[in-house]
Structure 1
Amino acid sequence: MSNSLSQLNDHLFAQIDRLSATGLTAEQIDTEVKRAGAIVSVSDTIIDTAKTQLVAAKLFAEHGNHVLPMLPQIGSSTDIEGEKS
């Protein structure tokens, strides 16, 4: 499985297609609704993480290396410069 927001988008639209399929039994609809709820829950977490990463990258771009101690998800400045810390 690919781990990209594009793939996530594909999964979300595939679930919409499954939810709107005609001829589903009540049991199948219930199963798809439960699956959709689980997908949405996980998707929300993935999207929130991506937003946090974007904010961190923006802070780094605007303020440089001195913000790195406050942004542990980016790593140390030596990691960014290509050296091991």
Structure 2
Amino acid sequence: MAKNKIINLNDHLFAELERLGDENLKGDALKEEIERSRSIGHIADRIINSGDLMLRARIAADNTVRGDKLLPSILGADYGPDSDIQQ
């Protein structure tokens, strides 16, 4: 279940939604699941915000007047010609 792509985030979120929708979940088990869903939601927000930052950086790099279209390596852009890391 260790898929580390934003596209897979939906699978995790919908799986949690299904667990929360289980009408047999009661008492402490329900409270634990609610706490788990809060944690998952918090992490999902951070992943989405991080992806948004990288997308905005990519758009900014594409629209630069410098022409080199380099992205800072801190954004994980250490691939191909879009990197500020010399390979």
Unpaired runs of 5+ residues, structure 2, are none
Aligned mates of 1:51, 1:19 — CA distance in 2:
27
Do structure 1's residue 65 and structure 2's residue 62 form an aligned pair? Answer: no
TM-score (norm 2): 0.77
Root-mean-square deviation (CA), in Å? Answer: 2.5
Aligned mates of 2:49, 2:17 — CA distance in 1:
21
Tell me the SS of whatever aligns to 1:24: coil
Q: Among the aligned pairs, what percent are the same residue? A: 30
Amino acid at match of 1:65: D
- Structure 2 matches for 1:47-66, cutoff 5 A? 47-63=48-64, 64-65=67-68
Structure richer in helix, relative to its length: 1
- Structure 2 matches for 1:1-85, cutoff 5 A? 1-63=2-64, 64-65=67-68, 68=70, 71-72=71-72, 73=75, 74=77, 80=83, 83-84=86-87
Between the two proteins, the alignment pairs up a number of residues equal to 80
Structure 1: 4+ residue segments shifted above 2 A: 77-83
Unpaired runs of 5+ residues, structure 1, are none
Q: Which string of whole-angstrom CA distances, capped at 9 and with x for unpartnered residues, describes residues 15-67 of structure 1?
A: 0000011111211110100000100111111000000000000011111326x
TM-score (norm 1): 0.79
